[in-house]
Amino acid sequence: MRRAVIAGNWKMHKTQAETRAFFDRFRPLVAGVQHCEIVIAPTFTSLSAAVESSRGTAIAIGAQDVHWESQGAFTGEVSAAMLVEAGCRYVIVGHSERRQYFGETDEWVFRKTRAALAAGLLPIVCVGETLPQRETGQTEAVLERQFRLGLAALTAEEFSRIILAYEPVWAIGTGRTATPELAAEAHRFLRERAAEKFGRAAASALRILYGGSVKPDNIGGLMAQPEIDGALVGGASLDAESFAAIVNF
Ligand code: PGA
């Protein structure tokens, strides 16, 4: 049985004060939650506030990115060990906004995933096609390539610790969610790739989250799909009530 994960990606939102205010409202709303893991990924500068505010709760904190080197002359970057020290358990890797606006490649995704795993972080690795790619029938080819170049060279042990997130780029921040059936189809395709490379048992243990305009009113339909093991939520994770409604799907 795969344990569900509901993760919030705050992107470039919330100061430390706003982070603390969110947690003050959010904590009581998810106090008894057992049915899923709850993850919140604030900005680097709000990590410490989030870690403090979530202490003693079941809410885990993640970062939104990581560099693959452990230290060095990489202005603006943060290493996996630094994230662990800051109190992170998770890290998002290869989000489409990083790929689209910051030139992140599948090769970088691979290196970052490896570095995160080596430091003991649980990477949430994002894949997904753009609208033109979907409209020209390239969805499976794109997912296959992202999987092959980003993940297939992990060891079986490393692979057993990753979480995959299928995030069709056309559904991110657009209000246009993939239907549960369409998302499940992509998840099945990805699980097949995992089975080919790492075997049936590893593939069936792999958690695949869906991301892209997940809201309180569509989470139920998504989670009703056995292929969908949770959600990576952007916009709707910024509001405590709305994110709690998603967690309590
Ligand atoms: P969204 O973002 O929920 O605002 O569409 C999802 C994501 O980018 O992870």
Q: What is the pLDDT of residue 226?
A: 97
Q: pLDDT for 205-228, tens place per residue?
A: 999 999 999 999 999 999 999 999
Mutate to test the pocket of ligand 1, among 9, 126, 170, 222 (most ligand atoms within 8 A of CB): 9
Backbone torsions φ then ψ of 5, nearest 5 degrees? -130, 125
Taking only Cα atoms into account, the Rg of the chain, rounded to an integer number of angstroms, comes to: 17
Q: What is the pLDDT of residue 105?
A: 97
The answer to whether residue 74 scores a pLDDT higher than 90 is yes
Q: How far apart are CA 240 and CA 219, in angstroms?
A: 16
Q: How far apart are CA 100 and CA 129, in angstroms?
A: 11
Q: How far is CA 112 from CA 77, 177, 191, 225, in A?
A: 12, 28, 21, 30
Ligand 1 atom 1: the closest Cα is on which residue?
234
- d(CA 102, ligand 1 centre) in Å: 17
Q: What is the pLDDT of residue 1?
A: 81
Q: What is the pLDDT of residue 175?
A: 84
Taking the C-alpha atoms of 110, 72, 95 and 209 in order, what is their torsion angle to the nearest 10 degrees? 60
Q: pLDDT for 114-168, tens place per residue?
A: 999 999 999 999 999 999 999 999 999 999 999 999 999 999 999 999 999 999 9
Determine the structural domain holding residue 30 and report its residue range: 4-247
Q: How far is CA 242 from CA 144, 165, 182, 212, 239, in A?
A: 33, 20, 24, 15, 5
Q: What is the pLDDT of residue 177?
A: 86
Taking the C-alpha atoms of 70, 76, 82 and 84 in order, what is their torsion angle to the nearest 10 degrees? -110
Q: How far is CA 234 from CA 22, 75, 80, 171, 231, in A?
A: 15, 27, 22, 11, 10
Q: What is the pLDDT of residue 157?
A: 98
Q: How far apart are CA 65 and CA 179, in angstroms?
A: 28
Q: What is the pLDDT of residue 100?
A: 95
Pick the closest to residue 151 from 104, 113, 122 (CA basis). 113
- Give the position, in ligand 1's atom list, of the atom nearest the Cα of 11: 8
**What contacts 14, CB < 8 A, 6 or more positions away?**
22, 42, 43, 46, 238
Residues with CB under 6 A from ligand 1: 9, 167, 172-173, 211-214, 232-236
For residue 233, the domain's CATH number is 3.20.20.70
Establish whether 129 is a catalytic residue: no
Q: pLDDT for 153-192, tens place per residue?
A: 999 999 999 999 999 999 998 888 889 999 999 999 999 9
Q: What is the pLDDT of residue 176?
A: 86
- d(CA 231, ligand 1 centre) in Å: 9
| Averaged confidence pLDDT in the chain | 97
Domain count for the chain: 1
Q: What is the pLDDT of residue 4?
A: 98
CA 54 to chain centre: 19
Ligand 1 atom 6: the closest Cα is on which residue?
234
- Given 95, 97, 104, 129, the catalytic residue: 95
CA angle 12, 19, 111 (to 5 degrees): 45
- d(CA 129, ligand 1 centre) in Å: 14
Q: pLDDT for 15-31, tens place per residue?
A: 999 999 999 999 999 99
**What contacts 139, CB < 8 A, 6 or more positions away?**
129, 133, 186
User: Are 127 and 143 contacting, i.e. CB atoms less than 8 angstroms apart?
Assistant: yes
Establish whether 167 is a catalytic residue: yes
